[in-house]
Each structure stands twice: as C-alpha cells, then as structure tokens.
C-alpha cells in the first residue's frame, strides 16, 4: 500500500530556517509534490522532485532521497506569511494523476 508521514505541527521564528520532513512508502515511484495551503484557501504548488537531490527555488528548497523514501522542504528567511499548512503528496504509480496526500504540517511563524 501507500503511506505518507509528516509532522502535524511545527513552530519557527521569523527570519529563521525550518525543515519539514516527509517520509513515504509506495509501490513504484513517480515523483513527490509539495503544496502550500493557507487557512481557507486552495493548495498551491511549490515543488516537484523526481530525481535525488536538492532543488532550490528562491527561499524554498526541496530535497528527495528515493532510496530512503524521504523528502524535506526547506524554508529560509522565514516570513510571517509563510505560516500555512505544507502538504506532501505522491502519485499512485502508473495511475495517472491520482495523488496520495500526507496529513499536512501546520507551520506557525512567530515574531
């Protein structure tokens, strides 16, 4: 079966760096997505990793290790507006667009 785990909540300070981890178990692998969701709003796409390594996109970076079934999202120079839920999602292998989501990590950024 498929399973995704990520911490439920995290707290960090404005200006700091925070790492949000995601572990997954899948039969087959077709990449991993990170989404950001502010309260009451739509999830918005942050990153997609299909190869091992770190991909940087401004203040946000995403890392993948396929051998370990592990990914993390790294947020630098935290801002208050980064307070949101961060969702890790993995496609069901060979089934087109069907995604399995983790429960999301609620990040609170404090002044």
Partner 1 sequence: ETGVTQTPRHLVMGMTNKKSLKCEQHLGHNAMYWYKQSAKKPLELMFVYSLEERVENNSVPSRFSPECPNSSHLFLHLHTLQPEDSALYLCASSQEEGPGGATDTQYFGPGTRLTVL
Task: State the residues that interact with partner 1 by CB under 8 A.
Answer: 4, 8, 30-31, 33, 35, 40-45, 48, 87, 89, 91, 94-104
Q: Shortest gap between Cβ of 39 and partner 1 (angstroms)? A: 10
* Beta carbons of 73 and 62 less than 8 angstroms apart: yes
With respect to partner 1, which residue has the nearer C-beta, 31 or 70?
A: 31
Q: At closest approach, how far in Å is the CB of 87 from partner 1?
A: 7
Instruction: Pick between residue 27 and residue 111 the one whose CB is nearest to partner 1.
Output: 27
- What is the Cα–Cα distance from 103 to 9, expressed in whole angstroms? 10
What does the DSSP 8-state code read for residue 66? Answer: T
Nearer to partner 1, 36 or 78 (CB): 36
Residue 61, strand partner residues: 56, 74
Tokens of 60: 């946000």
Nearest to 86 by CA among 30, 47, 31: 47
Q: How far is the CB of 37 from partner 1 (least distance, A)?
A: 8
Q: Kindly tell me which of 69 and 78 has the beta carbon lying closer to partner 1.
A: 69
Closest by CA position to 83, among listed 20, 22, 23 = 20
Residue 30 C-beta: closest distance to partner 1, Å: 5
């Amino acid at each position: 079966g498929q399973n995704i785990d990520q911490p439920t909540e995290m707290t960090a300070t404005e200006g700091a760096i925070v790492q949000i981890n995601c572990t997954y178990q899948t039969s087959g692998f077709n990449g991993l997505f990170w989404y950001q969701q502010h309260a009451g709003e739509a999830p918005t796409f942050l990153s997609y990793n299909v190869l091992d390594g770190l991909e940087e996109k401004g203040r946000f970076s995403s890392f993948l290790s396929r051998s370990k079934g592990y990914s993390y999202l790294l947020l630098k120079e935290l801002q208050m507006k980064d307070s949101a839920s961060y969702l890790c999602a993995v496609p069901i292998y060979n089934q087109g667009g069907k995604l399995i989501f983790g429960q999301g990590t609620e990040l609170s950024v404090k002044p």
